[in-house]
Amino acid sequence: MANMNIIGAVNSALDLALGADEDVFVFGEDVGKFGGVFRATDGLQDKYGEGRVFDTPLSEAGIIGTAIGMAIYGLKPVPEIQFSDFIFPAFDQIVNEMAKFRYRSGGQYTCPITIRTPYGGGIRGGHYHSQSPEAYFAHTAGLKVVIPSDPYTTKGLLLASIDDPDPVIFLEPKRVYRASKGEVPEGHYTLPLGKCTIDREGTDVTIVAYGALLHEARKAADLLAENDVSAEIVDVRTLVPLDEETILESVRKTGRVVICHEAARTCGFGGELAAVISEKALLHLEAPILRVTGYDTPFPYTLEQQYLPDAFKIFEACETTVDF
């Protein structure tokens, strides 16, 4: 075991994947010699050479188009998009090509690409470096969408994503890149895609969260405990495929649910979670489903802390639903 932050966990996972399989390639803007803007790929080019870990031009469509060609040829590319806000020039390649190759080829070809990209706010990056685009990709059939919350889940889910035969959008919560630390196995291990986990047991209200908001949910649960409210926390981990049953079991137990994400509220992934709960656990609910989300505005620079959901907003929503 080693104490790592999320950056270290990413680096360790990529190191192990590159070392174990010569078909794995890592590339993107500044990921080679410089080691990435967040240093997640630091040292990998020196260890595996410019042929396996390399820099690309500033062309997201080109990066993903190249990855698709490599994947169809039988390789396992792991491209990085420097910020998730920059992924949209590659949207056509991701949605119309990468996501559809298994279907359009009748299962003859898979497209084993893992796109790593930092997402979310918390670094005062303003509207070009702070977006949370998970709902766009969760809506796209053929893609898997994975969001870790801490170093342990980051490494295990990233290694599982690289091993997966289908394309994965791997969104890394950059707000806690270095703030989240923990004990992580130094060797290879995987965590199953499509499986939520109960981060904390509780009886009065279920908080559903992922990414950096898991840490805010934990703080909110601590505040609730001081007020004699027992909160259960579900860490979603994999938005697609979604582990509905773990969420539903928790909601059936508590009868109340608060869903949290950084992305804007309208058509955010929380709406899908609320729909699943309404369709399959409605008669167990003792209060309306509440959402704590970002606002329906471009991500602000000067008002970032007001925009972002935090522990107190989650606490207030939980108090509201418990008192309903």
- Catalytic residue positions, numbered: 129
- Interaxial angle between packed helices 269-281 and 244-254, expressed in degrees from 0 to 180 and rounded to the nearest 10: 60
Report which of 54, 116, 119 is spatially closest to residue 81, judged by C-alpha positions: 116
51, with CB counted inside 10 A (0-12, 13-18, 19+), is exposed
Angstrom distance (rounded) from CA 151 to CA 215: 13
283, with CB counted inside 10 A (0-12, 13-18, 19+), is exposed
Angstrom distance (rounded) from CA 193 to CA 81: 21
Q: Transcribe 55-72 into DSSP letters.
A: E--S-HHHHHHHHHHHHH
The secondary element (H helix, E strand) that includes residue 311 is: helix 311-322
Angstrom distance (rounded) from CA 230 to CA 16: 40
Q: CA torsion sign, 203 to 209 to 211 to 215?
A: negative
Cα-Cα-Cα-Cα torsion 88, 57, 156, 130, nearest 10 degrees, comes to: -40
> Residues 6 or more apart from 138 whose CB is under 8 A from it?
145, 239, 240, 269, 272
- Whether 147 and 239 have beta carbons less than 8 Å apart is answered as yes
For tokens 């396992």, name the residue.
76
